[in-house]
Structure 1
């Protein structure tokens, strides 16, 4: 066999999908960037959902168990992700090095009753195998969280039903009332929940159903936002919808969901904007001058999931709207082929200004950074990190917020790297800078 042959890529550096030099990072950092913006098994612009999920599986045993567990909790609680935390726990259950933390982590990340059965579907995705003792303990602890309404709402005729989970995990009820509830679950005798799905599936006048659900405040925040188009189609009176939006709880709703809702229900944009501003809260502002640089390249104009109308730009614009409210003074740019200054408007007006600022082309982050010549206390880049050109160090304190799950990225080294698109990123920036100030005091 001839040995004196050229082996391609042996010394090749890591690259982004568009060709820029990418950073070499630890397994933990690689797992974080794959997880915290991941809609599990949903394809992104550059990678398939299967590729991303396979990478997560490969990385879990290479990262310390406590760090994987903490990441699963962060993904569920801070980033509001539902499925990828379950995958992390399922992978933890495979390894003796990680199993000891499975029960407590699983009990923490299961926050909706349907996640009990969803976890088992993920656990058995490659074929049925016995549940480990830690998995049974975690499911049993989680099962006790849910009342009759929650169990009835999500007791659906899927491959794995809630009573199957109950039989497998041998959960113990906390009291006689819960024991009676579980008997009704097993017998299929739970009270039918008054949800919008049940009401509409019963047939009849859809407008009447929506009007009743709105009047009785039976719709949660996300259900309300997702059904605005259906209410419009049913000719529901606009004042009822406006009143519901003005009264909805916004504490668990991220800004990008309001932006997406407004795309297909623009007639309710004023009420959506008011609700979005309520969701931003009264957090302390970031002091000094902040520059925002928002990626509007072609790869960002891509759905978050196959069944969603939300785009990755919605996530980026939502973060920009949030940072605009919480920065003391701000300058805003978009970038694709180059950087374009955008008026520092608020809310939906800012979204519109960013969307029309330039064509959705390539990702020339390096060139864009060179065009930002003003002085700043911090620069925050919101991007999928797949730059076409080399990315220099920031001229001061710099953050890159990664809103995708691609394997390689550029926002490391002199940059402070943050993964995900929830409001938690602003708290991280604030705490990071306060800690740095204390250290330098």
Structure 2
């Protein structure tokens, strides 16, 4: 018998439970689609996650990298992780580079962020495809967008303009770019510019709301300022309920706004519930199981007091249909199946945040009759996780940890955008039309 041989060890979660062996594509998806780049998570630091994304992107096809970058930006509403994927795609080269850059870049400051990421280890020439993609993306932005994001930094918008050799489509655009290069663009009409220029808060926000010039995320982030400044309540609530630009806002942002400005929670709750009402309900009985273990209770970013647990609870509170809702940590606790803010609070207060016994939770859930199971978690279990008994079983992963348990008989989905629920509808609709339902990894 030979002893001096390599023995491949099965993967385990950070908590010690057996994890599924994953392909490079699966590893890349779970690292990217819930990733706020460079931000530390409970088990892994942001640098390690970023390094893994780059390494894994080299192990899959350029087509997969391009598609994932687009999905991360458009569906999961992430900003920096898609740019890191673009860096990997640029390194691989090929005709996909330019069109993918053009599509992924949706804000003018992402032009400079991409170049800064590309130069993070030192300046180097830009490839022809990278220049072409930047030039095409540059042409998408008007004078207002360019002025708004023309910020001081190692890379400025004028630098990207010169590096990409972008060509204006007409004389009007040529004039805007000339003004950008000369730093003579008119200051954008934003709340930041107005307040820095000495205008009062009440005056500024009242005018911007009346002229519909305040973006929805800016609205949510400034509710406390508006409340303290005495902006007319009806103007603020009308803007909240109008949800202009809300398609780019992640669900947990409503919870953050309600915490900052409790006065407006009633209307924020109504706006959040629109994400439920816009979609058809799930047929049959759905069980929702939300992870409230300690690893979920850490900030999403260094500047945020929101956690992945809040993101998970918010998803759990906007699922439409006939529900039973449970949370798990050391215990499994049934939670009132409330929607919106009430549902979020019920999940977060359901039990102490102790262990991570997903296997124990699954044993109990499998004994309860249901048609569909949706587990929202970071997939880090202390105990082995049994397979689900429901044919329609979904594991929604809201973290970027290296290994996870939600594969095999699970339909595995990564991300904390409400679009993960849209994928479940599409998945079930497809198999309803085409035959037997099967669980698949979304790759």
Local SS of the residue matching 2:317: helix
1:263 to 226, 250, 259: 259
Instruction: Provide the residue aligned with 2:330 in structure 1.
Output: 337
TM-superposed deviation, 1:10:
4.7
TM-superposed deviation, 1:11:
4.2
CA displacement, residues 199-234 of structure 1 (integer Å, 9 cap, x when unaligned): 111134333323333333321110011112223343
Give unpaired runs (5+ residues) of structure 1.
none
2:360 to 354, 367, 376: 367
CA displacement, residues 293-330 of structure 1 (integer Å, 9 cap, x when unaligned): 0011111111111112221122101211221xxx4311
Q: Distance in 2 between matches of 1:94 and 1:171?
A: 21
- Is the Cα contact below 8 Å between 2:318 and 2:339 reproduced in 1? no
> Is residue 2:219 matched to residue 1:224?
yes
TM-superposed deviation, 1:388:
0.9
Give unpaired runs (5+ residues) of structure 2.
437-443
Instruction: Provide the residue aligned with 2:196 in structure 1.
Output: 201
Instruction: Provide the residue aligned with 1:60 in structure 2.
Output: 57
Instruction: Provide the residue aligned with 1:164 in structure 2.
Output: 159
> Is residue 2:236 matched to residue 1:241?
yes
TM-superposed deviation, 1:285:
1.8
> Is residue 2:169 matched to residue 1:174?
yes
Taking the TM superposition and a 5 Å limit, the aligned residue runs for 1:33-182 are: 33-95=30-92, 98-182=93-177
Q: Distance in 2 between matches of 1:434 and 1:40?
A: 33
Local SS of the residue matching 1:62: coil
Instruction: Provide the residue aligned with 2:371 in structure 1.
Output: 377
* Between 197-206 and 61-70, the greater mean CA deviation after superposition: 197-206
Instruction: Provide the residue aligned with 2:441 in structure 1.
Output: none
Q: Distance in 2 between matches of 1:361 and 1:234?
A: 41
- Is the Cα contact below 8 Å between 1:255 and 1:321 reproduced in 2? no
TM-superposed deviation, 1:244:
2.5
TM normalised by structure 1 equals 0.94
Q: Distance in 2 between matches of 1:124 and 1:411?
A: 36
Instruction: Provide the residue aligned with 2:287 in structure 1.
Output: 291
Q: Distance in 1 between matches of 2:305 and 2:208?
A: 24
Instruction: Provide the residue aligned with 2:383 in structure 1.
Output: 389
Local SS of the residue matching 2:248: coil
- Is the Cα contact below 8 Å between 1:17 and 1:46 reproduced in 2? yes
Q: Distance in 1 between matches of 2:39 and 2:94?
A: 27
* Matched pairs, number: 433
* Between 290-299 and 272-281, the greater mean CA deviation after superposition: 272-281
Local SS of the residue matching 1:322: coil
Instruction: Provide the residue aligned with 2:311 in structure 1.
Output: 315
CA displacement, residues 342-380 of structure 1 (integer Å, 9 cap, x when unaligned): 111121111111111101111110101112222111100
Instruction: Provide the residue aligned with 1:300 in structure 2.
Output: 296
Q: Distance in 2 between matches of 1:292 and 1:148?
A: 46
How large is the Cα RMSD of the aligned pairs? 1.9
* Between 147-156 and 298-307, the greater mean CA deviation after superposition: 298-307
TM-superposed deviation, 1:58:
0.5
Instruction: Provide the residue aligned with 2:440 in structure 1.
Output: none
